Structure formats: C-alpha cells, structure tokens
C-alpha cells in the first residue's frame, strides 16, 4: 500500500504511475496468450485440452467431455437449497428488470419526397460469455452476462467457465440454467477465449465474447478483437472510495478488501481530505485482513496495489478519482449527489454510506461487468446494447433519387470516382 498526499511536489508523478494503464499489458502475459491463441487456432480441440490440463489441472480425452450436459444444469437448479435459489432468483429478477430498460428499438422516418431512412436494431446471433472461475466461482457473473443477452434476444449463448481440478460450484450451473444459457463448457483462460473466437471441432465460433476475467482473459479478449467483437476490458477488479471521514472505518476497510480479495492484481484506493480517516481505515484493514478466507490474495493485492490518498477537499478528491477512472467508485459522504456532477469516469458509482459496492456485485440490478484499467474513460457497463447491433436502412424514392443523386454525382466527381458519379446519375430523371 502506498500513501500519497496531493500537497507534495511529486504527487502528480505518483498519480501518473497509478494511472499508467498500459502497465496492465504485461509482456510476459502477452507472450503466453499469443502462444495459446496461435495453438488453439492451429490445433483446435487438442490445444484447448492440453492447456486445460496444464493451467486448470483438468484432464479429458475429448472436448465433448468438458461440455456440461443439459440434464446436469437442470439438476443443479433443482438441487439448490431454498435460500440459495431465492437469492439467485431475486438477483436474476432485479438484473432482468434493470436491463429491460436498456432495450433499443428500431426507428425510421420519412421525408416529403417519399425517401425513408432508418436504423434497424437486431440481436447478435451467437455470443460467448466468459464466467471467471480460477480463484473463485462466480454464479453472479453468469447472471450478469447471460441475462442482458437474453433480454436482447440473442439466439444462442455459449458459456465457458474454468473448473480447476474438475471442481465447479453447482451455483454456477444453476445460474446458467436459470438465465437460459444454451451450452456450457468447463474451459477457461486464454484457451477458452481462443476457442470461442476461432471455433474448434467442438466449440462453435461466436460473434462476440463478453465477460470479465483475470489478466490472461482480458489480454486474450484484447487480442482476438476484430475477429470477434468484445464488450470491453473487464480485468482485475478495482474500487475507489471517496470518504468524508464520517463512515465507520471498518465499513470502508471491508469495502476496499471486498475487491482486493478477487485477485492479487485487484486495486483498492481510498481518497479523503481527513488524514485521520486514512489512518483509521489502514488500521482497520490490518485488523480485518486475517479474518478473510482469501487472506493471502487480499493481502498481496493490498500490499502491492492499494493506495491511500490525502487531498485538500472534496473537489480535489473528485478530480483525482476522475483521473484514475475506477471500475467501482463509492461516494461515502453525507451528500453524494453534490459530488456526482464533478465525476465522469467510473464504471459504476455507489452513492452514500449505505451503498456497499458488494450490493452492486450481486443484487442491485445494474451490471457488475464493468470497465477496468482506466477504460471507464471510454467504456460502459455490460448491457443489452452489447448484444444488439444497428444496421442503417436507406430507401430512396424516385424523386429522392433524383434530388440526392445530383449532389452525390457532384461529390463523386469531386473525388474523381466516375463509377460512383454515373451510378447516381443513372437515377437522375433528365441529364443522365
């Protein structure tokens, strides 16, 4: 953990290091991922099986063996404890309700001469959803990925999830059944991303890959972009808390640790204009860390990637947060609405002392697949819009073709494109 003070002369440089997003592009990780992508592209199932054995300690004779039969998905849902089923159903319902508001509709308008212009919105045909599962199982990520795809009307959803050592939390399978996933493969990492992007003998190639994952997954998605669509860079988790010093330090410490426990590379940042607040929260973190099941991961993330930042006031806190562009931004202050207008770069904003980021991870309703590594400057949360595409529709009436054709012909001539000019001119009534 590092401590920074905005009054010190080297603050700007330190902040620049903290927001050196390209540092996430680790050359060693990139080299590994490039090899994996190449091997899967060339050798298909065989390479996926080899890497699954190597990275996930899961051996199989064929990739078909790593597809979870539909009956197993149904059994997992039917076999849930009632309290688990209720919690999953509540989360699913709230996520569906929130995302239904994002559906975009096709539109069209007509001009006086009968020309019609429009935009047709259609769902993607087949998508791949990545559900992380290396260090923890993420049933919540199944819902967050699959429900917006279903709401958009995607015809086929292929889910990949690693099952290290062959172990897979039944909640993950139950969530897949509940959300309407079509096929599930227990493969993960860059090899799963490659299988979805290029297709193999067993795994069908998809149109777009969405979902969060560790640095290997995020790097693989970055590299296959173009061959397939991707949603965003949703890598190791991040939280940034702005505190006025009036929230219980244990609450703040646990909020920071809630993201640290995801990954050794997760980032937790606390900003306050109250120096005592930073000291109290640091002490709470030290006290609470040993109580976590995933203490080792959280401790490593805290030691290597956390920052406590002292600023002059709330305005400066917002300016610094905006530069960092975190995945999650908690405004643990009396009047969060007063800060919101000054904030533009965050995947999701959690308003007020009672809105723990963890609520957003599971049940609030908005998506928890969010941009990381500063990409909140230009990316949005995963949503229905990621599973819809837009096609422009142009219908020229005879009169419209005449009028628009004259201008088109002129512009084409200006570009020296004769065929363009004549193509437009053929449809002009006189003077062809």
Ligand X SMILES: NC(=O)c1ccc[n+]([C@@H]2O[C@H](COP(=O)([O-])OP(=O)(O)OC[C@H]3O[C@@H](n4cnc5c(N)ncnc54)[C@H](O)[C@@H]3O)[C@@H](O)[C@H]2O)c1
Q: Where do contacts with Zn ion occur on this chain (CB under 5 A)?
A: 361
Residues 123-142 that bind ligand HSO (CB under 6 A): 138, 140-141
CB of 323 to ligand X, least distance (A): 19
Catalytic residue selected from 327, 330, 357, 368:
327
Residue 257 is encoded by which pair of tokens? 């640790």
* Given 368, 387, 405, 408, the residue binding ligand HSO (CB under 6 A): 368
Q: How far apart are CA 16 and CA 14, in angstroms?
A: 5
CA distance linking residue 259 with residue 257, whole number of Å: 5
* CA dist., res. 421 & res. 81, Å (int): 69
* Residue facing ligand X at closest CB distance: 189
Site string for ligand HSO, 303-332 (x = CB under 6 A): ------------------------x-----
Asked if residue 219 binds ligand X (CB under 6 A), the reply is: no
Which residue, 132 or 336, is less far from ligand X as judged by CB? 132
Judged by beta carbon distances under 5 to 8 A according to partner kind, the member of ligand HSO, Zn ion, ligand X, none in contact with residue 189 is ligand X
Among 4, 18, 32, 127, binds ligand X (CB under 6 A): 32
Q: What are phi and psi of 351, to 5 degrees?
A: -95, 115
At 202, give phi and psi (nearest 5°).
-110, -35
Q: Which residue has the tokens 């646990």?
A: 254
Active site residue 328: yes
Distance in Å, CB of 43 to Zn ion, minimum: 35
Contact 301, 322 (CB under 8 A): no
Angle between helices 249-260 and 275-288 (to 10 degrees): 60
| Whole-number Å distance between alpha carbons of 72 and 64 | 14
Query: 327 catalytic, yes or no?
Result: yes
Between 46 and 135, CB nearer to ligand HSO:
135
Q: How far is the CB of 170 from ligand X (least distance, A)?
A: 17
Gap between the Cα atoms of 105 and 270, Å rounded: 41
Q: How many residues does the chain have?
A: 432
State yes or no: residue 237 binds ligand HSO (CB under 6 A). yes
Give the residue numbers marked as catalytic.
327-328
């Amino acid at each position: 953990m590092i401590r920074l003070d905005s009054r010190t002369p080297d603050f700007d440089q330190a902040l620049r290091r903290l927001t050196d997003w390209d540092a996430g592009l680790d050359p060693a990780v990139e080299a590994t991922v490039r090899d994996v992508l190449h091997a899967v592209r060339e050798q298909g199932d065989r390479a996926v099986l080899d890497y699954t054995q190597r990275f996930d300690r899961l051996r199989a004779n064929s990739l078909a063996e790593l597809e979870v039969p539909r009956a197993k998905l149904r059994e997992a849902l039917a076999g849930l404890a009632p309290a688990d089923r209720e919690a999953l159903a509540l989360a699913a319902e709230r996520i569906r309700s929130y995302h239904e508001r994002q559906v975009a509709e096709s539109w069209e308008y007509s001009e006086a001469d009968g020309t019609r212009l429009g935009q047709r919105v259609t769902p993607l045909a087949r998508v791949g959803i990545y559900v992380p599962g290396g260090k923890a199982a993420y049933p919540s990520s199944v819902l967050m990925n699959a429900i917006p795809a279903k709401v958009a009307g995607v015809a086929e959803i292929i889910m990949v999830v690693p099952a290290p050592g062959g172990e897979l939390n039944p909640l993950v399978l139950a969530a897949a059944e509940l959300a309407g996933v079509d096929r599930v493969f227990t493969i993960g990492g860059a090899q799963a991303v490659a299988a979805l992007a290029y297709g193999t003998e067993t795994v069908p190639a998809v149109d777009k890959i969405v979902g969060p994952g560790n640095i290997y997954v995020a790097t693989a998605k970055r590299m296959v972009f173009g061959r397939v669509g991707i949603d965003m860079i949703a890598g190791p988790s991040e939280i940034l808390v702005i505190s006025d010093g009036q929230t219980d330090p244990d609450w703040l410490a646990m909020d920071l640790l809630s993201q640290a426990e995801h990954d050794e590379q997760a980032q937790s940042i606390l900003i306050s204009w109250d120096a005592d607040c930073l000291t109290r929260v640091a002490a709470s973190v030290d006290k609470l860390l040993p109580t976590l099941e995933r203490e080792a991961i959280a401790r490593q993330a805290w030691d290597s990637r956390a920052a406590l930042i002292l600023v002059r006031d709330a305005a400066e806190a917002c300016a610094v947060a905006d530069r960092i562009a975190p995945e999650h931004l908690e405004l643990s202050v009396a009047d969060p609405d007063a800060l919101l207008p000054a904030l533009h770069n965050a995947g999701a904003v959690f308003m007020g002392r009672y809105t723990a980021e963890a609520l957003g991870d599971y049940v609030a309703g908005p998506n928890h697949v969010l941009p990381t590594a500063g990409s909140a400057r230009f990316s949005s949360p995963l949503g229905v819009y990621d599973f819809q595409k837009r096609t422009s529709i142009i219908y020229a009436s005879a009169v419209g073709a005449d009028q628009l054709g004259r201008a088109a012909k002129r512009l084409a001539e200006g570009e020296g494109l004769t065929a363009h000019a004549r193509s437009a001119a053929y449809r002009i009534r006189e003077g062809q």
